[in-house]
C-alpha cells in the first residue's frame, strides 16, 4: 500500500464564496458533519496506513492547518506541513512535496495525492481502489482515479481511457472542461471519466517526468538545501526554510500538474473508482449533499451557532445557508447564502458563475473583503 500521503490544502475555494474566504477557505468548512473537509481527508490518509502525511498549504494558512489537524489523533503517522510563500498551483506544490520525500530518502516510495476539500465515501472502497492504484504505480505508472460520469457535466475535466491494464486502464488523454454537447458525447462514449484530481505515483517517477515535461517547475527545487529545517506549530511539524522558499517561488511557473505533466506523459493510467466522490465545488453540490442527508441548513453545518430562522414561503427548491434570519418568498430554485457579512443570491444550476462574481469583486477593489 502507499507509504506517504500528500494533501493539497492551499486552495482558496472561490466557488464557495462567501462561506469560503481568504481567512477561512473551503478546506476548513464543515460540509458533511462535525469535521472539516481537511480533517476528513486526513482520516482517509490514516485509513490507508501511511507512514507520514505531508500537507502542502500557503504559509498564511499554516496556523489554521496545524490547529485543524491537531484535533485529529496523529500520534502515528508523522504529519508535516510544507508551507508555500506564494501560490503556484499544483505542479509546484507536488514538486515541493517530492523534494521533501527525496530529502528523507523516500524518493522510490509510492505516495497518494489528495485535495483537502473533497468528500469520498465509503472509505473501505477508497482503500481498496488505492491498493489497485499502488500496484500499478509501483510498475512506473502515474495513476489517477476516474469517476464514472452520471451526467453531461461541464464543470469537470475528463479522462479518456484506452487499453485495459490489470485493475485499471491506460490513459489515452486528459480533456479540459467541455461544452455541453461534448460532455454529452463523453457520457455516451463510455470510455470517458471525470478527473478526480487524486493521484498515486512513485516519487522518483513523478520527478523524472516533471523534469522531462516541465523543467522550469522541477529544477528550481533541486536548489533547496537538505535536510529541511523543522519547527513546531500547535504540536505539528512545519518543514522548510522560509527564506529559501521565498526566494525560490516567485520565479516558478504557476501551472497545474494536469497541464504540466499528466496531459503530456505516456505513463498515465487510471483506476475506475468504486467509491462515491464529490469535489464540493459549487453551491449546487452543497445543496445536493444537504438534501441527500436531509440536513436542515440553518447555519454552517457542525458549528453550534444557535437557531437561525430560514423561512421558505411558496419557494420550492431553494437552499439557504445563513448566519442571519432569512425569509425567501415566492421564488423557485435559488441559493441564498449569507456568510462573513456578505450575501450571495444565485439561481440553482448557475453556481459555476459564483467564481466570476468573486473575480468581479476582487478586480473592483474589494479584495480585502474576500
Identify whether residues 230 and 325 lie together within a single domain. Answer: no
Mean pLDDT to the nearest integer, 51-75: 91
Identify whether residues 191 and 154 lie together within a single domain. Answer: yes
Identify whether residues 309 and 179 lie together within a single domain. Answer: no
Identify whether residues 267 and 364 lie together within a single domain. Answer: no
- Domain assignment of residue 59, yes or no: yes
Q: How far is CA 241 from the centre of its chain?
A: 25
* pLDDT given at position 73: 67
* pLDDT given at position 80: 96
Identify whether residues 214 and 308 lie together within a single domain. Answer: no
Number of domains within the chain = 2
Q: What is the pLDDT of residues 81-101, one digit of tens each?
A: 999 999 999 999 999 999 999
Residue 34 CB-density burial (10 A; 0-12 exposed, 13-18 middle, 19+ buried): exposed
Tell which of 249, 281, 313 closes a domain.
281
- Domain assignment of residue 174, yes or no: yes
Helices (H), the chain: 37-47, 62-69, 89-103, 123-137, 180-189, 203-213, 215-218, 242-248, 257, 283-293, 354-361
Identify whether residues 274 and 312 lie together within a single domain. Answer: no
Whether the per-residue pLDDT at 359 is higher than 90: the answer is: yes
pLDDT category at 74 given cuts 50, 70, 90 is low
pLDDT category at 309 given cuts 50, 70, 90 is confident
Mean pLDDT to the nearest integer, 127-145: 98
Whether the per-residue pLDDT at 67 is higher than 80: the answer is: yes
* Alpha-carbon gap, residue 169 to 268, rounded angstroms: 9
- Domain assignment of residue 70, yes or no: yes
φ, ψ (nearest 5 deg) of residue 287: -60, -40
Instruction: Give the count of beta carbons closer than 10 Å to the beta carbon of residue 215.
Output: 10
* Alpha-carbon gap, residue 156 to 42, rounded angstroms: 24
Mean pLDDT to the nearest integer, 102-120: 94
pLDDT category at 11 given cuts 50, 70, 90 is confident
* pLDDT given at position 307: 64
Q: What is the pTM of this model?
A: 0.93
Nearest to 101 by CA among 212, 198, 228, 219: 228
pLDDT category at 75 given cuts 50, 70, 90 is low
Identify whether residues 52 and 200 lie together within a single domain. Answer: yes
* pLDDT given at position 295: 46
Full domain range(s) for residue 277 = 4-281
Mean pLDDT to the nearest integer, 302-322: 77
- Domain assignment of residue 293, yes or no: no
Mean pLDDT to the nearest integer, 151-169: 94
Question: Within 13 Å of residue 241, how many CA atoms lie on the same side as its CB?
Answer: 13
* pLDDT given at position 255: 96
List the CATH number of the domain containing 85: 3.90.550.10
Identify whether residues 270 and 219 lie together within a single domain. Answer: yes
* pLDDT given at position 303: 35
Percent of the chain with pLDDT over 90: 84
- Domain assignment of residue 288, yes or no: no
Identify whether residues 126 and 208 lie together within a single domain. Answer: yes
Whether the per-residue pLDDT at 301 is higher than 90: the answer is: no
* pLDDT given at position 304: 35
Identify whether residues 120 and 153 lie together within a single domain. Answer: yes
pLDDT category at 79 given cuts 50, 70, 90 is very high
* pLDDT given at position 298: 43
- Domain assignment of residue 292, yes or no: no
3 state SS of 62 = helix
- Domain assignment of residue 287, yes or no: no
Identify whether residues 98 and 152 lie together within a single domain. Answer: yes
- Domain assignment of residue 286, yes or no: no
Pairing of strands 310-313, 230-233: unpaired
Whether the per-residue pLDDT at 297 is higher than 70: the answer is: no
Identify whether residues 173 and 313 lie together within a single domain. Answer: no
pLDDT category at 76 given cuts 50, 70, 90 is low
Amino acid at each position: 500500500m502507499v507509504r506517504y500521503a500528500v494533501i493539497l490544502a492551499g486552495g482558496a475555494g472561490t466557488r464557495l464564496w462567501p462561506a469560503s474566504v481568504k481567512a477561512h477557505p473551503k478546506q476548513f468548512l464543515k460540509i458533511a458533519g462535525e469535521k472539516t473537509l481537511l480533517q476528513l481527508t486526513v482520516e482517509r490518509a490514516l485509513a490507508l496506513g501511511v507512514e507520514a502525511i505531508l500537507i502542502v498549504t500557503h504559509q498564511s494558512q499554516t496556523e489554521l492547518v496545524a490547529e485543524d489537524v491537531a484535533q485529529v489523533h496523529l500520534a502515528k503517522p508523522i504529519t508535516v506541513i510544507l508551507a508555500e510563500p506564494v501560490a503556484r498551483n499544483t505542479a509546484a506544490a507536488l514538486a515541493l512535496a517530492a523534494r521533501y520525500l527525496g530529502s528523507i530518502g523516500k524518493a522510490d516510495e509510492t505516495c497518494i495525492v489528495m485535495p483537502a476539500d473533497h468528500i469520498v465515501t465509503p472509505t473501505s472502497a477508497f482503500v481498496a481502489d488505492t491498493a489497485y492504484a499502488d500496484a500499478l504505480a509501483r510498475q512506473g505508472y502515474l495513476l489517477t482515479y476516474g469517476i464514472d460520469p452520471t451526467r453531461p457535466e461541464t464543470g469537470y475535466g475528463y479522462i479518456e481511457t484506452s487499453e485495459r491494464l490489470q485493475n485499471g486502464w491506460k490513459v489515452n488523454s486528459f480533456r479540459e472542461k467541455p461544452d455541453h454537447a461534448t460532455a454529452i458525447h463523453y457520457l455516451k462514449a463510455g470510455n470517458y471519466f471525470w478527473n478526480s484530481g487524486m493521484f498515486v505515483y512513485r516519487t522518483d517517477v513523478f520527478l523524472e517526468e516533471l523534469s522531462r515535461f516541465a523543467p522550469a517547475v522541477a529544477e528550481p527545487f533541486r536548489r533547496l538545501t537538505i535536510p529541511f529545517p523543522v519547527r513546531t506549530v500547535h504540536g505539528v511539524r512545519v518543514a522548510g526554510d522560509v527564506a529559501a522558499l521565498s526566494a525560490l517561488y516567485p520565479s516558478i511557473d504557476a501551472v497545474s500538474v494536469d497541464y504540466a505533466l499528466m496531459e503530456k506523459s505516456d505513463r498515465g493510467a487510471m483506476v475506475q473508482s468504486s467509491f462515491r466522490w464529490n469535489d464540493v465545488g459549487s453551491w449546487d453540490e452543497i445543496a445536493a449533499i444537504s438534501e441527500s442527508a436531509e440536513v436542515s441548513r440553518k447555519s454552517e453545518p457542525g458549528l453550534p451557532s444557535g437557531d437561525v430562522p430560514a423561512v421558505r414561503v411558496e419557494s420550492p427548491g431553494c437552499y439557504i445557508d445563513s448566519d442571519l434570519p432569512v425569509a425567501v418568498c415566492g421564488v423557485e430554485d435559488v441559493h441564498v447564502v449569507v456568510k462573513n457579512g456578505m450575501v450571495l443570491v444565485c439561481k440553482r444550476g448557475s453556481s459555476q458563475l459564483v467564481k466570476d462574481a468573486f473575480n468581479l469583486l476582487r478586480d473592483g477593489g474589494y479584495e480585502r473583503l474576500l
